[in-house]
Amino acid sequence: MAIAQCGGRQRATPSQDPNRPAACVSKRNGRERAPVSPPSSSSDRVVYAVVASTFFVGFGGGVVFPILPNLGEVLGISAFMVGVILSANRWTRLVANGPAGVLVDRIGTRTPFVVGLAVEGLATFGYVIAIRSATPELWFVVARVTWGIGSALVFATAYTITADVSEASSRGTSMGIVRAGITFGFPAGMVLGGIVSEVYSNVWAFALAASFAGLASVIAFFIVPETHVESTDSSIKPWDFETTLPALTVGLVNFGLYFAYIGVLFSTLVLYLEVESLTLSVELAGYGIDYGEQGTSGLLMAVSALSGAVFTISGGKISDAVGARMPVLIAFLATSCAGFVVLTLAPSLGAVVLGCILIGAGQGGVGGPLTALLADLTPEDRMGRAMGTNNIFGDVGGGLGPLLSLPFATAVGYDVLYALSAIIPLIAGAVLVAGIYSYTGSLSPTVEESIA
C-alpha cells in the first residue's frame, strides 16, 4: 500500500484506489489546505483545549435531564411534551449537522467551533428564562433548538480538529480523549442539575451551567487555532453529505448507541428509580444525606459517564496498541448489551449501579475507536462532512429514544424496555462487521489497511 504523509495524518496515494478522492492537495476548488504539523506539545495543547471546551459546555446539555421529568408535573408539562423538549436539540441537528460538516470543510474549524460554543451558552441561559416564564414549554423548546444548532457546529469541529492534528498510530487515543470530554461533560451536567437543584434551586442549576458554557467559548477563542483549511470559497451545499459505505456503517452504529444510551437509559432513569422506589442515602461525618430520584439519577448518570470516560480513553488507546479497531469495538458493544441485561434482571440499587457502569463502559469504549475508524477511512478534505453524517445518525437515535421510550415504558414497563434495548448493541455489531468487511475485504483490517 502506498502511503503519503499529509500534515500529521497518513493518507493513501490516489493510485491506490482511483475511486477515492485525493486528500493531500495544495489547492481544491480555489482554496488552500492549512498546514498541519505532526503531533507535538502544541497539538496536545489544542486537543486538551477542545476537551476542556466541550466538557464545560456539555453541562448545558445534561442539566435538564434530572430536572425536567419531575418539573414537568409542577409546570403542567405533559410526558410527551417533556420528551419533545429533551429530544428537540437532536431533531434540530438533523437539519444542522450536514451544513455544519460542509461549512467545516469549506471555511475551517476555528470559527464554527467558537461560535457553536457561544450559541450553546446562550441556549443554556434560555433554561433560566423558561422556568420563570408563563409559557415554559415554548421557551424550553426554543432553548433546546438553539442548543442543537450550536452543538452541530461543535461536534462537527471537535473531532475534525482532533483528526487534523493526530497521526493514524495515535488517532484512537486522541479521539478517545476528546470523546471523553464530550461524554463526561453531558452527564456531569446531570449531576449538576440533580444535586444543585435539590440543594439550592432549579434556577441556580441552570444559571451555573450557563456560566460554564460561557467559560468554554472563552477557552476556545484564546487557545484553539485553525487546523483544517484556509478558504476563499464559502459556498455551502446543505445536501453535500458523506454517503460512502464507511460513513453510513459507522453512522448506523452511532444511531444504535445513542438510541439505547441517551434515548433510553438517560431519558427514563429518573422515572425508573421512582417506580422502583430506589434512592441513595449517604452518611458523611455522622450526617445522613438522603437523595431523591433527581439527585440519585444524577449521581448514577455520573457513575455511568465516569465509566464511559475511562473506557473511551482506554478503548482508543487499546485500538492504537493493537493496530486494529474492530476487536475493541465488538468487545465494548457486548459490554453495553450486558449492562442492559443487568438492569432487566435485578431491580435493586446495586444492580442499577452495575448496569449503568457496564452501559457507560460499552458506550465509551466504542466511542474512541469508532470515531478513529471513521477518520481512518475518510479522506481529510471530507472529514467535516463525514462527521456531519455520523452526527445525523446519532441524533436520530438520541431523538427517537425519548419520544419512544417514555410512552413505551409507561405502557409495558421498564423491564421489557431494557430487555429490548439489550439487543440494540448486538445488531450494531452485526452491521459494523458487515459494512467494514464489504468495504475492506477483511473482518478486522489493521489501521494501516484502513487508511483512506
Is residue 15 a part of any domain in this protein?
A: no
Range in 61-65, 261-265, 342-346 with the lowest mean pLDDT: 61-65
- pLDDT of the residue at 362: 92
- pLDDT of the residue at 229: 58
**Which has the closest alpha carbon to 68: 127, 122, 125?**
127
Query: How would residue 176 be classed by pLDDT, with cut points 50, 70 and 90?
Result: confident
Expressed as residue numbers, the domain containing 350 is: 44-226+240-280+288-450
Instruction: Give the percent of the chain with pLDDT over 70.
Output: 81
Q: What's the rounded mean pLDDT across residues 327-348?
A: 90
pTM, rounded to two decimals: 0.66
Question: Does the pLDDT value for residue 340 go beyond 90?
Answer: yes
Distance CA(376)–CA(135), nearest Å, equals: 47
Question: Does the pLDDT value for residue 130 go beyond 80?
Answer: yes
pLDDT, one tens digit per residue, over 252-291 is 999 999 899 888 888 888 788 877 777 665 554 455 555 6
Length of the chain: 452
Is residue 26 a part of any domain in this protein?
A: no
Give the residue with greater pLDDT, 96 vs 448: 96
pLDDT, one tens digit per residue, over 374-392 is 888 887 777 777 877 887 8
Q: How many domains does the chain have?
A: 1
Is residue 445 a part of any domain in this protein?
A: yes
Contact 183, 305 (CB under 8 A): yes
Q: Which three cell numbers, joined as nine digits, stand for 90?
A: 437532536
pLDDT, one tens digit per residue, over 348-375 is 888 888 999 999 999 888 888 888 888 8
- pLDDT of the residue at 424: 93
Give the residue with greater pLDDT, 90 vs 113: 113
- pLDDT of the residue at 240: 60
Q: What's the rounded mean pLDDT across residues 98-112?
A: 81
Contact 38, 8 (CB under 8 A): yes
Range in 10-14, 44-48, 92-96 with the lowest mean pLDDT: 10-14
Query: How would residue 305 be classed by pLDDT, with cut points 50, 70 and 90?
Result: confident
Is residue 2 a part of any domain in this protein?
A: no
Give the residue with greater pLDDT, 284 vs 72: 72
Question: Does the pLDDT value for residue 24 go beyond 50?
Answer: no
What is the domain-level CATH number for residue 80? 1.20.1250.20
Is residue 27 a part of any domain in this protein?
A: no
- pLDDT of the residue at 41: 56
Q: Which amino acid is at 80?
A: F
Place of cell 438492569: 343
Average pLDDT, the chain: 77
Q: What's the rounded mean pLDDT across residues 123-150?
A: 88
- pLDDT of the residue at 145: 92
- pLDDT of the residue at 98: 77
- pLDDT of the residue at 426: 94
Query: How would residue 324 be classed by pLDDT, with cut points 50, 70 and 90?
Result: confident
Range in 48-52, 227-231, 263-267, 308-312 with the lowest mean pLDDT: 227-231
Is residue 232 a part of any domain in this protein?
A: no
Which CA distances in Å does 256 have to 251, 261, 426?
9, 9, 9
- pLDDT of the residue at 187: 67
pLDDT, one tens digit per residue, over 204-220 is 888 888 888 888 888 88
Query: How would residue 9 be classed by pLDDT, with cut points 50, 70 and 90?
Result: very low
**Which has the closest alpha carbon to 93: 400, 431, 376, 372?**
400
- pLDDT of the residue at 423: 93
Question: Does the pLDDT value for residue 4 go beyond 90?
Answer: no
Is residue 104 a part of any domain in this protein?
A: yes
Query: How would residue 166 be classed by pLDDT, with cut points 50, 70 and 90?
Result: confident
- Three-state helix/strand/coil letters over the chain: CCEEEECCEEEECHHHCCCCCCCCCCEECCEEECCCCCCCHHHHHHHHHHHHHHHHHHHHHHCCCCCHHHHHHHHCCCHHHHHHHHHHHHHHHHHHHHHHHHHHHHHCCHHHHHHHHHHHHHHHHHHHHHHHCCCHHHHHHHHHHHHHHHHHHHHHHHHHHHHHHCCHHHHHHHHHHHHHHHHHHHHHHHHHHHHHHHHCCHHHHHHHHHHHHHHHHHHHHHHCCCCCEECCCCCCCCCCCCCCHHHHHHHHHHHHHHHHHHHHHHHHHHHHHHHHCCCCEEEECCEEEECCHHHHHHHHHHHHHHHHHHHHHHHHHHHHHHCECHHHHHHHHHHHHHHHHHHHHCCCHHHHHHHHHHHHHHHHHHHHHHHHHHHHCCCHHHHHHHHHHHHHHHHHHHHHHHHHHHHHHHHHCHHHHHHHHHHHHHHHHHHHHHHHHHHHCCCCCEHHHHCC
Q: What's the rounded mean pLDDT across residues 141-167?
A: 85
Is residue 93 a part of any domain in this protein?
A: yes
Query: How would residue 313 be classed by pLDDT, with cut points 50, 70 and 90?
Result: confident
Question: Does the pLDDT value for residue 228 go beyond 70?
Answer: no
Contact 252, 52 (CB under 8 A): no
